[in-house]
């Protein structure tokens, strides 16, 4: 009997010790929340350590959590450093890592993984102090920030990014830009998108060599964006200090006011355009960079190029602006149109990303407005690689006049003037670990 009592006493002491040891660990886990759900609309779930739980306002977010929203679901999260994240319907976002040290914000470490759907993020103190340690991955790309409010829409086939404030750096995932890294990737294929590039999106398609800058209204086909992406977009004229919900009365009022302001602005522009005589040259090449590339005598600074013109296509250096005041005959165009090369610029980027001047020796461009197709070829010479042929075919959108090549090796993106008398495109051709690139203007 005494032995039995002693055995029970030892068991009780052991259980007491285990409870004392485990209780603090449980408390630490409970206090390890790095964010809190501040808004939950519709049905959404959190996947945590193999369990799936419904989301509600006040729910604590810890690293490793996966937020899954349904077609009706929409979740807002405020993190401990003041960062804000809006997870739109039909999205899957994982909080891979979130370490924030209020005493030493530069030591922060943050990573998200957007498997599919749409997410808007507004940087907090951690990302602002440790930009080299913030990363948003998608199945195809890595995104780093520069003090940013940005919107990402992604799936297994493409990624599309808009920037409301600041800037982002997007790079395709590869053996240099690895998914397990942190911060923006600095590779030959990385591209930057800033809020000053108003109306532009950075797009990367599966198997493409590099990301492409495109006007938001030109995204079609496989790259067609869903309304959620635009609902989180903020006009360049406004400031975004919080994540707004599309169903909130405050945002609806703001959107209505913005629409009225835009309508008035359009009317003012229309009156001004009626007083402006049409220009002979409808297309102008601008550049984002302050200084031109070696051998570039074609482009002018962005602010000069955009005067009374609108962007059609562009990338990280070249941007094609078009005069919108002339008569639009695009939809009535028919038959085959042949263009002659009027002016051009080209450069070669070697494997170490050093640029040198190149020369476009000649070429041809034909557009079949009946079949909505185009074909072009160029002869481009650079000292390091000799003369190379750039050949591309693709389709033209008769509504916008924008044309894009089908192939990934020789890439062409351009547009025709509204009266179809001019055309312009920028091109790139991969040569080993280097590339030829440039811009052209054509006339019928």
pLDDT, tens digit, for every residue of 305-340? 888 788 999 888 899 999 988 889 998 888 899 999
Confidence of residue 432 (pLDDT cuts 50, 70, 90): confident
Give residues with Cβ within 8 angstroms of 413, minimum separation 6.
212, 214, 313, 315, 402, 403, 404, 405, 425, 426
Residue 268 has pLDDT above 60, yes or no: no
Confidence of residue 302 (pLDDT cuts 50, 70, 90): confident
The pLDDT assigned to 219 comes to 72
Give residues with Cβ within 8 angstroms of 259, minimum separation 6.
none
The pLDDT assigned to 418 comes to 94
CA angle 343/347/350 to nearest 5° reads: 165
The pLDDT assigned to 17 comes to 47
The pLDDT assigned to 117 comes to 94
Q: What is the DSSP string of 229-295?
A: HHHT---TTS---SPPPTTSHHHHHHHHHHHHHHHHHHHHHHHHHHTSPPPS--EEEEESSSSPPTT
The span from the CA of 25 to the CA of 177, in Å, is 36
pTM here? 0.56
The span from the CA of 11 to the CA of 292, in Å, is 80
Average pLDDT over residues 163-187: 92
Confidence of residue 245 (pLDDT cuts 50, 70, 90): very low
Residue 70 has pLDDT above 70, yes or no: yes
Confidence of residue 441 (pLDDT cuts 50, 70, 90): very high
The span from the CA of 428 to the CA of 411, in Å, is 5
The span from the CA of 111 to the CA of 125, in Å, is 14
The pLDDT assigned to 277 comes to 37
Residues of the chain with pLDDT > 90, as a percent, come to 52
Residue 69 has pLDDT above 80, yes or no: yes
CA angle 143/146/355 to nearest 5° reads: 75
Token pair listed for 278: 């049409």
Token pair listed for 96: 């891979």
The pLDDT assigned to 413 comes to 94
Confidence of residue 224 (pLDDT cuts 50, 70, 90): low
Give the residue among 131, 210, 132, 137 at the shortest CA–CA distance from 178: 137
The pLDDT assigned to 10 comes to 63
Give the residue among 440, 443, 399, 397 at the shortest CA–CA distance from 421: 443
Average pLDDT over residues 390-398: 92
Residue 157 has pLDDT above 60, yes or no: yes
The span from the CA of 335 to the CA of 1, in Å, is 106
Phi, psi of 303 (to 5 degrees): -65, -35
Name the burial class of residue 280, with classes exposed (0-12), middle (13-18) and buried (19+) by CB atoms within 10 angstroms of its CB.
exposed
What pairs with residue 150 in β-bridges? 121, 163
């Amino acid at each position: 009997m005494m032995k039995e009592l002693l055995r029970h006493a030892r068991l009780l002491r052991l259980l007491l010790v285990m409870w004392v040891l485990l209780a603090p660990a449980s408390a630490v886990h409970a206090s390890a929340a790095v964010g809190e759900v501040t808004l939950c609309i519709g049905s959404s779930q959190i996947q945590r350590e193999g369990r799936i739980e419904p989301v509600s306002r006040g729910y604590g977010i810890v690293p490793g959590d996966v937020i899954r929203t349904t077609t009706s679901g929409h979740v807002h999260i405020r993190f401990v450093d003041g960062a804000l994240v809006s997870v739109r319907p039909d999205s899957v976002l994982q909080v891979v890592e979130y370490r924030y040290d209020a005493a030493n914000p530069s030591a922060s470490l943050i990573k998200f993984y957007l498997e599919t759907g749409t997410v808007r993020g507004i940087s907090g103190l951690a990302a602002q102090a440790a930009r080299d340690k913030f990363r948003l991955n998608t199945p195809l790309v890595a995104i780093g920030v520069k003090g940013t409010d940005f919107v990402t829409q992604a799936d297994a086939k493409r990624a599309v990014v808009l920037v409301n404030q600041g800037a982002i750096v997007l790079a395709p995932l590869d053996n240099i830009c690895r998914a397990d890294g942190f911060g923006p990737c600095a590779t030959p294929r990385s591209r930057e998108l800033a809020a000053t590039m108003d109306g532009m999106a950075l797009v990367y398609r599966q198997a493409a060599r590099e990301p492409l800058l495109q006007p938001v209204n030109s995204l079609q086909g496989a790259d067609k964006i869903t309304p959620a992406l635009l609902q989180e977009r903020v006009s360049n004229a406004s400031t975004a200090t919080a994540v707004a919900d599309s169903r909130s009365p405050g945002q609806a009022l703001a959107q209505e006011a913005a629409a009225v302001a835009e309508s008035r602005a359009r009317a003012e522009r229309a009156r001004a355009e009626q007083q402006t005589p049409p220009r002979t040259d409808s297309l102008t090449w601008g550049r984002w960079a302050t200084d031109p590339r070696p051998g570039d005598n074609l482009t002018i600074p962005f602010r000069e190029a955009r005067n009374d013109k609108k962007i059609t296509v562009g990338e990280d250096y070249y941007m094609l602006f078009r005069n919108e005041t002339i008569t639009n005959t695009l939809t009535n165009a028919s038959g085959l149109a042949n263009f002659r090369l009027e002016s051009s610029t080209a450069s070669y980027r070697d494997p170490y990303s050093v640029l040198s001047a190149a020369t476009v020796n000649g070429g041809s461009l034909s557009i079949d407005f009946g079949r909505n197709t185009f074909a072009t070829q160029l002869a481009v010479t650079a000292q390091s690689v000799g003369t190379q042929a750039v050949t591309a075919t693709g389709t033209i959108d008769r509504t916008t006049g924008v044309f894009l090549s089908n192939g990934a090796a020789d890439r062409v993106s351009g547009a025709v003037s509204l009266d179809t008398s001019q055309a312009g495109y920028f091109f790139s051709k991969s040569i080993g670990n280097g590339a030829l690139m440039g811009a052209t203007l054509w006339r019928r």
